[in-house]
A and B are shown apart, each in its own frame.
Chain A
Amino acid sequence: MATAPAPAAEEIAPATKALSCPNCGGTVTLRAAGYTVTVACQYCGSLLDVANPDVRLIKKYKEAVQELEIPLGTRGTLRGVEWEAIGYMRRSEGGAYPWEEYLLFNPYHGYRWLIANRGGWSFGEQLTRTPDWAGHTIALDGQNYDPFFANGRAQVDYVVGEFYWRVKVGESVATDDYVRPGFMLSREANNEEISWSLSEWMPPKEVGKAFGISALVQPWPPLPHQPSPHGRAVKTAAKIGFGMLALMLLAMFVFGSSASLFRGSLPVTLDGTPQSATVGPIALNRSWQIVNVSARSPELENGWIDIDYTLVNRETQVAYQAYGVAERYSGSDSDGPWTEGDRGATVKVASVPAGTYDLVVEYTGNRWGGAGYYARSEARSIDLQVRRGGVFISNFILAALFILAPLIFIAIRHMGFESARRGESDFASSGSDDD
């Protein structure tokens, strides 16, 4: 906001008015003269009525005036506007859960409140409009607020400085509070009036910088309207993480096709004698590929076949080895008949470079003696299929775990924050949904 041109010197009105405290004689400075109704003398704490030209003493206090975190008269700039702290009061719920309120004043902007609660700060304003009711929640300027505290009673425990109404220690109002992340809408009512105020949660650093406060603490549990520091991060991180997972899935679909290189059948018997067969030439065209060898013996019963594979590059004679076993067992026990093994095995050999290869299959079929005398053991052939390509799902799962782990960690911290925050509400329940 720009500044208006400076006026001639004699046109400048004084900003303060001094008066004498009728109790202690100290000079009390009025900073909002014309608006201020009550002043609590900063020396003796006596409550003075300045609504009328003759200053009346409402109540004498002998106690010393409390040292304030923000001394009255301090100015601070918040959101581009300069404010002067002119009044301070401490309120509580019947003496419990006390909080502090500073009355801020700027003649060209009116009044605001700086509320200090358990170490957290909020910047509040009295509203000139009333909220709309929408069932359980209320709405202001198109934003919904959920109830947080209901049927509260705020009483004034201590005052010092200026106020624009006749504030008395002990006076109380009925209170209700509604929140949305970062904002609290409060209703205060007594017999004479109902007023609404909106306060915004302020980052402690912003208030500290404006009013010169140090040693700022983070309240725990969080303030009712305190936004979760993890909330935004979770949303952004979820977009990034799931975005990357989607990309990886897409890549797997696009590049994960496989092609069959060989299909054939090898004879096998379950007599324990080693057998061997060489399949080739197998041409691998891609720079690097997965070689997928599956072996299945469809008639296998009560036996197993050890299979050793060696994939040998014809030019370089570099060998790639893998081992698989095809097995099938069956029998009957007290629970009934059972079977084990699916008669086949698939092995995946990784990072096989391009070239022409021979696949040496060395296999031995064995009977399973535990089948019993009457059990039938047999095997006739092994269906062998060699494929190139495909995907390692296990790679994706491993990558997904690494991608999701930080996300899950932040989500847990966010839920912990929200749970602690909501736990303070009068409406705390276990079934509330997350934002």
Chain B
Amino acid sequence: MLRVPCPNCGAEVLFRSPALPSRVCDYCQTIVVRRGQSVEAVGKAAVLPFDVSPIQIGTRGRFDGQGFEVIGRVRWGWTDGSWNEWLLLFDDGRDGWLGEAMGQLMLLKERALGDMRSNAINALADGKPIEVGMEAVLDGEMMMVADAREATCIAAEGELPFPAPVGLTIFSVDFRSPSGACASLQREGEMPTLFAGRYVTFDDIAATGLRVIEGWRVPAFGG
């Protein structure tokens, strides 16, 4: 746990885990990177556009028997919309992502690329087009491409495993399965990264600490 003043505006900035060396200052949107015990400013993140997402930094939940806290967010935009990816810090120190798009939540953890067998991986590496319906096998389960799109990071906040990649363009491929398991392949440079998990609801993850939105009653999830 490291608390330091923001090198730009002096407001207190918190780093929770050595594995997450970057964060966006909540007050001036400066991207601050931690190097050992010192920090440095490496640019500015865009101000997040207004949205009615109920998830916020500090939201807590449980997944596969482990508790987690939402500590960061990256907002991606594509030609026909945008979505949030929330960084989760689990109680055991590992991290994961909660993708939030069109009211649907994908809880994903990074996996080794070799865990998935699919023509889509080769196509992605070769720069060939990915077709909707392409198949993949992961953990013995059959999955299909549900969509494939190019996206640009438009804003970020909180703590992140990398400096806020505002302006970075990636290619993202989402997979779906009959059981609700899902996966996401994201390629920015040479090699794609694989994330896998499943679709969840706020009830499934017993979400607490959700943002209160005026005029809407916040349900108590998880029973």
CB interface residues, B 165-210, toward A, < 8 Å: 176-180, 182, 199, 202, 208, 210
Q: Is the CB of B213 within 8 A of A51?
A: no
B146 an interface residue at 8 Å Cβ cutoff?
Answer: yes
Chain A residues with CB under 8 A of B51: 33-35
Most interface-central of B103, B208, B211, B212 (chain A CB within 10 A): B103
Q: In the complex, A105→B132 CA distance in Å?
A: 27
Interface residues on A, range: 35 or more
Kindly list chain B residues whose C-beta atoms are within 8 Å of the C-beta of A4.
208, 210, 218-220
Complex interface: chain A residues within 8 A of B219 (CB): 1-4, 108-109
Instruction: Decide yes or no whether B147 CB sits under 8 A from chain A.
Output: yes
Residue among B103, B202, B208 making CB contact with A35, cutoff 8 Å: B103
> In the complex, which of the residues B52, B177, B211 has the most CB atoms of chain A within 10 Å of its own CB atom?
B52
A32 within 8 Å of B by Cβ? yes
Within 8 A of B (CB), among A91-142: 105-111, 126, 128-132
Instruction: Name B149's closest neighbour in chain A (CB-CB).
Output: A192
Rounded to whole angstroms, the CA-CA distance of A128 and B43 in the bound complex is 37
Q: Which residues of A contact B133 (CB under 8 A)?
A: 194
Q: Tell me, yes or no, whether B217 is within 8 Å of chain A by CB.
A: yes
Q: Is the CB of A165 within 8 A of B52?
A: no
- The CA-CA distance from A36 to B133 in the complex, in Å, is 26
**Which of B2-10, B13-21, B78-86, B110-118 is the contact stretch?**
B78-86
Q: Is the CB of B208 within 8 A of A191?
A: no
**If the complex has contacts A107-B53, A129-B180, are A35 and B102 also in contact, measured as CB distance less than 8 A?**
yes
Given contacts A1-B219, A108-B54, A131-B178, contact A193 B213 (CB under 8 A): no
A33 and B52 contact, CB distance less than 8 A = yes
Q: How far is the CA of A82 from the CA of B217 in the complex (A)?
A: 9
Question: How does the 8 Å CB contact mask read for B49-60 relative to A, with 1 for contact and 0 for none?
Answer: 111111000000
Please tell me which stretch of A10-18, A144-152, A200-208 contacts chain B, meaning at least 4 of its Cβ atoms lie within 8 angstroms of it. A10-18
State in angstroms the CA–CA spacing of A111 and B104 once bound together.
9
Task: Give the distance to chain A from B5, nearest Cβ to Cβ, in Å.
Answer: 24
Q: Could you tell me if B212 and A13 are in contact, using CB atoms closer than 8 angstroms?
A: yes
Which label, helix, strand, loop or mixed, suits the secondary structure of the B interface? Answer: loop
Q: Is the CB of A130 within 8 A of B81?
A: no
Known: A13-B212, A130-B144, A194-B133. Contact between A3 and B220, CB under 8 A? yes
Q: Which residue of B lies closest to A14 (CB)?
A: B214
In B11-61, which residues have CB < 8 Å from any A CB?
49-54
Which of A31, A34, A109 sits near B50, CB closer than 8 Å?
A: A34
Segment 89-139 of B: residues with Cβ below 8 Å from A:
101-104, 106, 132-133
Contact yes or no, B132 A128, CB < 8 A: no
A1: nearest chain-B partner, CB-CB? B219
The yes or no answer to A164 lying at the interface (CB within 8 A) is yes
Please measure, in the bound complex, the distance between the C-alpha atom of A245 and the C-alpha atom of B35, giving whole angstroms. 87
B177-A108 in contact (CB<8A): no
CB of A60, distance to nearest CB on chain B (Å)? 20
CB contact list, A172-206 vs B, under 8 A = 189, 191-195
* Distance, CA A14 to CA B213, complexed state (A): 6
Query: Which residue of chain B has its CB nearest to the CB of A37?
Result: B81
Task: Answer whether A13 and B214 are a contact pair too, CB < 8 Å, given A130-B177, A193-B147.
Answer: yes
CA–CA, A52 and B178, complex, Å:
34
CA distance A15 to B144 in the complex (A): 35
Complex alpha-carbon distance, A165 and B80, angstroms: 6
State in angstroms the CA–CA spacing of A34 and B103 once bound together: 11
B218: chain A residues within 8 A (beta carbon): 3-4, 108
Q: Are B212 and A129 in contact (CB under 8 A)?
A: no
Given A2-B219, A110-B102, A164-B102: A12 and B53 interface contact (C-beta under 8 Å): no
B residues near A34, Cβ cutoff 8 Å = 49-53, 82, 84
> Nearest B residue to A196 by beta-carbon distance?
B176
B213 and A15 contacting across the interface, CB-CB below 8 Å: yes
Q: Which of A240-285 contact B (CB under 8 A)?
A: none
A4 to B217, CA, bound (A): 8
Give the CA-CA distance A165 to B82 in the complex, in Å.
10
**Interface residue A53 (Cβ < 8 Å from any Cβ of B):** yes
Q: A125: nearest residue on chain B (CB-CB)?
A: B103
* CB-defined contacts of A132 to chain B, threshold 8 Å: 178
CB of B199 within 8 A of CB of A129, answer yes
Whether the Cβ atoms of B211 and A194 lie closer than 8 Å is no
B residues whose Cβ falls under 8 Å from a Cβ of A: 49-54, 77, 79-82, 84, 101-104, 106, 132-133, 144, 146-147, 176-180, 182, 199, 202, 208, 210-221
Subset of 5 A-B contacts with CB under 8 Å = A35-B101, A51-B80, A111-B103, A130-B144, A195-B146
With A2-B220, A12-B214 already in contact, 20 other A-B pairs whose C-beta atoms are closer than 8 Å = A2-B219, A13-B52, A13-B213, A14-B214, A15-B52, A32-B52, A33-B51, A34-B84, A35-B52, A35-B103, A37-B80, A51-B79, A107-B52, A107-B213, A108-B202, A110-B104, A128-B199, A129-B179, A131-B178, A194-B146
